[in-house]
Amino acid sequence: MTSQPNKLAFNSGWQYAAAPEGTDHFSIGKRYGLFINGEFVKPATGKYFNTVNPATEEVLARVALAGDEDVDRAVAAARKAYKGVWSKMKAAERGKYIYRIARILQERAREFSVIESLDGGKPIRESRDIDIPLAAAHFFYYAGWADKLEYAFPGRKPAPLGVAGQIIPWNFPLLMAAWKIAPALACGNTVVLKPAETTPLTALKLAEVISEAGLPPGVVNIVTGAGKTGAAVVDHNDVDKVAFTGSTNVGRHIMMALAGTNKKYTLELGGKAANIVFADAAIDQAVEGIVNGIFFNQGHVCCAGSRLLVQESVADQVIAKLKDRMETLIVGDPLDKNTDIGAINSAPQLEKIESYLKIGQAEGAEMYQSSCSVPKKGYWCRPTIFTGVSQSNRIVQEEIFGPVLAIQTFRTLEEGLTKANNTPFGLSGGVWTDKGSKVFKMTQGIRAGVVWANTFNKFDPASPFGGYKESGVGREGGLHGLGAYLSLD
């Protein structure tokens, strides 16, 4: 079967009634200071920047821009809290504070979900069902480890490192903050966190939660700003550990800045994962997995399945079904519970994605986009696939970080594996097959930190996450994530 005889007509007869999530159950401040030593303070720079709603281009709030002096103040507060309180506190007590953060996040989950969608453009269904519950789950998980570090590393003497400087991206703002803060605190470190410029709001709301949980002042400090603020955190002499999640390019700069220093570091960087569909796979499930792999969070996902490798004998069938499925995806208002694909996070990111759409076509690939309409205001990109691509194409080799899938075919398992690994990245991968033997062969052969079998984009605080090659250094999550915040003599 290559195409369906009676083409289904989508979006013609009827439409879903709008189902918007409310916004009257919380408030966003007009202006936010820096969260240093347990309180919101004015930045020494005197400067503020806007954070906008990418679905409407409206300004949501003004946020303080931290300069070197502010970062210095935050690191000093973190050092004082480390020496004076946090490293001395009984581990079980530390665990209780982290547990309290998790509980309050759960209680305020609806507020956090809506703010995450407003500030970053992701569909409310995802922030409500994935980002916020997973962020709380990370705090719960690491709260449990706080007084069991000797059991995690038997025969060793786990000790905190000191002050952790942490820098996070805009694609999973609260979740990335949780990935960073929870293990650091559980291990007895204090923190200076720099959220991304376009999505600072949930980190600032998290500062409120941290106050509400009664954490001693200075244990967690949040300094908002752009790349320069991040660089100031990395370069600060009194930071003992740097944890960075972001692009490979910035990761390289950070690695250079850290060379020759005593600072420990973990880098979680970019990806270009292969999602590999064998002919014996359950095709309809695989199509759902392809959609989830590349269109989840507008494709702003480091471990997105942005390359589809499909076995040649089923390629036409898979692509036809995928195109039909793409027609049913609703692109639009992130706060509408029907929405599948929200807004692109920022104007520069949309520009970057659009430049890749041009590059793909110039490279000779065939582009297909779903026919959905998109709102006039805001930043939008229709779900897009490219066929007729070759291994050397830039759209196959480079991370686009948008809802854009490059499709290639393969005949044998070896060819599929070779193509999957032919990339500078190694963060994730996916395999779809009915045969357990193929799952084992592929999961052993794919050089990536995580490989999913007959599913994709599944996360759990107990499983480590991280990359090979240009996808990063070190692991976050699970027991492995503790090791990155401890010295183990």
What are the residue numbers of the active site? 268, 302
Q: Pick between residue 85 and residue 347 the one whose CB is nearest to ligand NAP.
A: 347
Q: Give me the long-range contacts of 89-94 (CB less than 8 A, separation at least 24).
A: 89/188, 90/147, 91/146, 91/147, 91/149, 91/188, 92/146, 92/147, 94/146, 94/147, 94/185, 94/186, 94/188
Q: Pick between residue 287 and residue 381 the one whose CB is nearest to ligand NAP.
A: 381
Q: Pick between residue 55 and residue 177 the one whose CB is nearest to ligand NAP.
A: 177
Binding mask 446-485 for Mg ion (x = CB under 5 A): ----------------------------------------
Residue with smallest beta-carbon separation from ligand NAP: 230
Partner interacting with residue 193 (select from ligand NAP, Mg ion, none; CB below 5-8 Å by kind): none
Q: Pick between residue 58 and residue 414 the one whose CB is nearest to Mg ion.
A: 58
Q: Is 288 helix (H, G, I), strand (E, B) or coil?
A: helix
Partner interacting with residue 51 (select from ligand NAP, Mg ion, none; CB below 5-8 Å by kind): Mg ion
Residues 420/426/427/430 CA torsion (nearest 10 deg):
20
Judge whether 180 and 166 are in contact, CB under 8 Å. Answer: yes
Compute the least distance from the CB of residue 355 to ligand NAP, in Å. 15
Q: Which of 37, 113, 117, 198 binds Mg ion (CB under 5 A)?
A: 198
H runs (alpha helix) in 37-123: 68-81, 91-107, 109-120
Q: Which of 32, 43, 51, 139 binds Mg ion (CB under 5 A)?
A: 51
Compute the least distance from the CB of residue 346 to Mg ion, in Å. 7
Calpha distance 459→451 (Å, rounded): 11
Of the candidates 371, 412, 405, 372, the one whose C-alpha atom is nearest the C-alpha of residue 388 is 405
Judge whether 419 and 274 are in contact, CB under 8 Å. Answer: yes
What's the Cα-to-Cα distance from 219 to each of 86, 108, 238, rounded to whole Å?
7, 22, 15
Compute the least distance from the CB of residue 56 to Mg ion, in Å. 11
**Beta-sheet pairing, 58-64 with 48-53:** antiparallel
Compute the least distance from the CB of residue 170 to Mg ion, in Å. 8
Q: Which residue has the tokens 């007590």?
A: 93
Largest CA distance in the chain: 73
Compute the least distance from the CB of residue 282 to ligand NAP, in Å. 29
Q: Is 268 helix (H, G, I), strand (E, B) or coil?
A: strand
Partner interacting with residue 245 (select from Mg ion, ligand NAP, none; CB below 5-8 Å by kind): ligand NAP
Partner interacting with residue 167 (select from Mg ion, ligand NAP, none; CB below 5-8 Å by kind): ligand NAP
- The residues, any chain, with a CB within 8 Å of residue 26's CB and separated by 6 or more, are 111, 114, 115
Partner interacting with residue 234 (select from Mg ion, ligand NAP, none; CB below 5-8 Å by kind): ligand NAP
Judge whether 356 and 402 are in contact, CB under 8 Å. Answer: yes
Compute the least distance from the CB of residue 409 to ligand NAP, in Å. 26
Query: Segment 399-438, which members bind Mg ion (CB under 5 A)?
Result: none
Binding of Mg ion at residue 116 (CB under 5 A)?
Answer: no
Q: Pick between residue 245 and residue 311 the one whose CB is nearest to ligand NAP.
A: 245
Calpha distance 148→369 (Å, rounded): 51
Of the candidates 232, 206, 241, 218, the one whose C-alpha atom is nearest the C-alpha of residue 115 is 206
Give the interface with ligand NAP as residue ranges (CB under 6 A): 167-171, 194, 196-197, 226-227, 230-231, 234, 245-247, 250, 253-254, 268-271, 302, 399, 401, 427, 467, 472
CB atoms within 10 A of CB 377: 11
H runs (alpha helix) in 153-200: 173-186
Partner interacting with residue 372 (select from Mg ion, ligand NAP, none; CB below 5-8 Å by kind): none
Q: Pick between residue 379 and residue 432 the one whose CB is nearest to Mg ion.
A: 379
Compute the least distance from the CB of residue 378 to Mg ion, in Å. 11
Of the candidates 285, 287, 371, the one whose C-alpha atom is nearest the C-alpha of residue 327 is 371
Binding range to Mg ion, per CB under 5 A, among 2-10, 49-57, 69-77, 269-277:
49-57
Q: Which residues make beta-bridge pairs with 191?
A: 164, 220
Partner interacting with residue 271 (select from Mg ion, ligand NAP, none; CB below 5-8 Å by kind): ligand NAP
Partner interacting with residue 169 (select from ligand NAP, Mg ion, none; CB below 5-8 Å by kind): ligand NAP
Compute the least distance from the CB of residue 118 to Mg ion, in Å. 8
Of the candidates 117, 228, 113, the one whose C-alpha atom is nearest the C-alpha of residue 167 is 228
Q: Which of 119, 126, 197, 470 binds Mg ion (CB under 5 A)?
A: 119
Compute the least distance from the CB of residue 228 to ligand NAP, in Å. 7
Partner interacting with residue 119 (select from Mg ion, ligand NAP, none; CB below 5-8 Å by kind): Mg ion
Q: Pick between residue 80 and residue 352 the one whose CB is nearest to ligand NAP.
A: 352
Q: Is 138 helix (H, G, I), strand (E, B) or coil?
A: helix
Which residues in this chain contact Mg ion in the complex, by CB under 5 A?
51, 119, 198
